[in-house]
Each structure stands twice: as structure tokens, then as C-alpha cells.
Amino acid sequence: MTQQRQISVIVAVATFRRPDCLARVLPQLVEQVASAGATASVLVVDNDPDGGAAQYVRRFASPVVRYVHEPHPGISAARNRALDESRSADAVVFIDDDEEPGPQWLTTLVERWTDWRCAAVTGPVVATFDGGPPDPWVVASGVFDRRRHVTGESLRGAASNNLLLDIAQLSGLGLRFDDSYGLTGGSDTRLTHELVARGGVIRWVDEAEVVDHIPVGRATRSWVLKRSFRTSNDWSRVALDLAPGRWSRLRERADLTARGIVRVSRGARHWLLGTFLRDMNRRARGAVEVVEAAGVTLGAYGYVASEYRRAAAQSRSTTTAGSGAAGAC
């Protein structure tokens, strides 16, 4: 009987000046790869031009953890470096540096992917607030309530904060993270939507959960509204970028405009009703919907929100949290 080859998996963590996050997540990832039932290792991709994470990874000194420095700015460059470093593996699994894997997270992702052999599998991301209970408005907005699905359900796209990609299928389609989204966000939306558009299948694994640590700086009304604007702007931009041809783009732009009009009308109605009834849930969700409508509509006409842009004189102490920026873990 021919012995079946063991699956090879690389868990990739992109980071930018967040050593406290690495100190928390790396030991947990080492435990996960040890019990994954596959040949697995952890790859830290440092997107800091100064290579600041190197000393922390060396200090960690685990034989299953490898460090690479990707100085080109932007989350797309970091993710593409992870793909390049994973060319000899069967799959790469992305997790953010400010997250923690749930019990048997990696094993569950790998097992489901092995069963289905689809192009990608993804799972839920559950928010926890590090600074204690946030402003009730922030909770009422629903921005941190990520939608869940039934295990095995096919999706149109996925985020990269809990995502396994089949290297062979991705390479066969010639897909990479688009560098033009590197400092704006949305490169994972672009890649996964294009993956599905070109025949790839993404399936949901509801048991493969990760916990997303929300720092105090993100648990604010202003951050919620900015993120809502940016993500809806990304969605609009991706839809236009993937439209095949001029007429398709015109139809897509008209559709996005119509969606924006419907959404802003509905959001304004909810906000006004919530204000009249003193209903915080309605007010918060209405405000978010209005902002999302603005993001979608402006994106349809070329406006691009840049969440991760780095100022030349930006200091370590004043940057904000995110995959493309430094911040508290």
C-alpha cells in the first residue's frame, strides 16, 4: 500500500510594530501546529521597514517559527510575501497578529479543507474588548457582530484574518493580493472575490473560531464610522475592478449608486426614528448604514479610502492599530 503524503501547512502572521501581540499569539500558534496532524510551521512576516519584530521572534526561539522581513509598505506586500514563502507548502493559513486561535482552530481548518479540497476555507472571528465594556453605542452599531454561517456553506468572499488558501489552486489561477490595495485595505476582499469569480470555492467552517482583540482606540464611535466607510468603499471598488469591460463597469456603477441611495434612505429613516424613540440601537445602526452608503456611492465614482497610509514622519508612539499600522495589542 502506498503511504499517503502528509499535508504541509504554513500559518502566516503579518505584523507591523506590535511586539506585545506577537508575544501573546506566537506561543498559542506553536501549540496549534504541534497538534495539527500535518507538517506545520509559523511564518512571521514583518512589514516594519526597520525590521523591529526580528528581535522578538529570535527571543522566542522556536524551531517551528520562522521570521522574514518584507520592507515594502502595505498589507498586500506582507500577504504576498507569505504566499511566496509558502510555495512549497500545500496550504497557507492567515491569522492577524492581534487575534488568538480558538481550541483546535488549525486542526479543524486543515481537516475540513482536506475533506473538501476547495480553494479556501474560512471561519468566524469573535470580538473581545480589551479595555472593558465599550460605549454602548459601539456595541449597538453591530459593527463587531460578524455574520456566521453553516459549516460547509459556500461564500462569495472572505477576510484574511481567519483564512486557509490552497496554494496549488491559487497559483494555478495566477492570483495574488493586489498591491494597489496595500495601504487602503480590501486586498483580501479583492483576492477572494476574484477567486470565486474564476471558479474557486470558499467554504465556511463554523467550528474554526478565532478571537479578535479590540483595543480601546478602536472601540469608539469615530473608529466604527471610519471602518464602516472604508469597508463599504472597498466593496464598491472591488466590484468595479472585477467588472469585465467598460459596459459592465457602467452597469456596476449604476447598480452601486442605486444601492447607495436605498441604503442612505433606510439608514436616515432608522436614525431619525431612533432619535425620536430614544432607541440607541436604531440610531447607531442607522448612522452606520448612512456612512456605508457614502462609502459605496463614492467608491463607485473612484474615491478610495486609505486606512493604512503611513506618513513619512509618523512615529511609533502615534500610529494607530491595524495590519498596516502600529498600535496597542
For CA atoms 45, 47, 49, 50, give the dihedral sign.
Answer: negative
Percent of the chain with pLDDT over 70: 91
* DSSP designation for 325: B
Chain CA centroid to CA 316, Å: 23
pLDDT of residue 6: 85
Question: Could you tell me the pLDDT band of residue 306, with boundaries at 50, 70 and 90?
Answer: confident
pLDDT tier, 309 (very low <50, low <70, confident <90, very high otherwise): low
pLDDT the model gives residue 314 = 43
Tell me the average pLDDT across 118-141. 95
- Average the pLDDT over 55-69 and give the result: 92
pTM score, whole prediction: 0.91
In this prediction, residue 326 carries a pLDDT of 56
To the nearest whole percent, how much of the chain has pLDDT over 90?
A: 84
Check whether 322 has a pLDDT greater than 50.
no
Per-residue pLDDT band for 323 (boundaries 50, 70, 90) equals very low
Determine the pLDDT at residue 37. Answer: 80
Q: What is the mean pLDDT of residues 169-185?
A: 94
Sequence-ordered list of residues with C-beta below 8 angstroms from that of 84, at least 6 positions apart, any chain = none
- Extract the C-alpha cell encoding 91: 496550504
Give me the mean pLDDT over the 132-138 stretch. 92
Question: Per the structure block, which three cell numbers stand in for 136?
Answer: 454602548
Judged against a pLDDT cut of 70, whether residue 67 lies above it is answered with: yes
The C-alpha atoms of residue 36 and residue 196 are separated, in whole angstroms, by: 27
Residue with cell 516594519: 48
When the pLDDT of each residue in the chain is averaged and rounded to a whole number, the result is 91
pLDDT tens string 183-222: 899 999 999 999 999 999 999 999 999 999 999 999 999 9
Contacts of 164 (CB under 8 A, 6+ apart): 9, 91, 92, 93, 94, 109, 110, 113, 120, 121, 122
The torsion angle over the Cα atoms of residues 194, 15, 85 and 195, rounded to 10 degrees, is: -10
pLDDT of residue 38: 80
**Which whole number is the average pLDDT over 93-122?**
97
Order of strands, sheet of 91-95, starting from the edge strand that comes earlier in the sequence: 65-69, 39-46, 8-15, 91-95, 162-166, 120-122, 202-204, 154-155
pLDDT at 305: 84
The end-to-end CA distance of the chain, in Å, is 50
Whether 2 shows a pLDDT value over 60: the answer reads no
Asked whether residue 315 carries a pLDDT value surpassing 50, the answer given is no
The answer on pLDDT for 145 being more than 70 is: yes
What's the pLDDT tens digit per position in 278-298? 999 999 999 999 999 999 999
Give dist(CA 257, CA 297) in Å, integer.
5
Please name the residues in contact with 71: beta carbons below 8 A apart, sequence gap of 6 or more. Answer: 47, 48, 49, 51
Cβ neighbourhood burial of 222 (10 Å; 0-12, 13-18, 19+): exposed
Side chain identity, residue 149: H
- Residue 46 cell numbers, joined: 514583518
